[in-house]
A and B are shown apart, each in its own frame.
Chain A
Amino acid sequence: MIVWLLLLLGLGRTPATYTVEIRGMEFHPAALTVSVGDTVVWVNQDIVPHSATATGGTKWDTGVLKQGQTGRYVARARGSARYVCTLHPTMHGKLIIR
């Protein structure tokens, strides 16, 4: 019974890892929905450096990622956040945490 309750509440699940590819000066996918506890990994596949930096609410920032480098963020609280590449402000993404 307790196990079922935990599963129903989503507390017994194993955290997942999601990947956002940065290629062609875009985030793929541009919008991603994850659960609390999940990890999001950004992989820069472009020649030029990028970042994934939250623009409001919870502050998080991968820092500058050169080609081939990765940055990660563990979703800690529910909510949604838009993020940008600080080097290229015309690049936008959205992370939704449920």
Chain B
Amino acid sequence: MILLEPLINYFIVSLALLSVGIYGLIAKRNAIRLLFSVEIIINAAIINFVAFARYHDTPLLTGQTFSLFAIALAATEAAVGLAIIVQAFRLNNDIDVLELKRLRG
């Protein structure tokens, strides 16, 4: 497949995804939406890894290999985060992050 786009296009897409994720992290109060935001940001990072490795002078395989680890660690993070959300819902009957004050000193 012949690529014609300069690298900046992929960078802009990744940047847009990062901005959407940052917006979600700031504006949302629902814990599940925060998890969505984190996943979107991780996805943006992975797109950057793959794009920059592909556009290297001699295309690197390391970008793809590293993306595999990143995706696997994102999966672990999602599993633990969702378990925490379920537990918080059981204890507090709510997952609004502004209402979770149990650990406040």
Partners in one complex: no
The interface of chain A, by Cβ under 8 A from chain B, is none
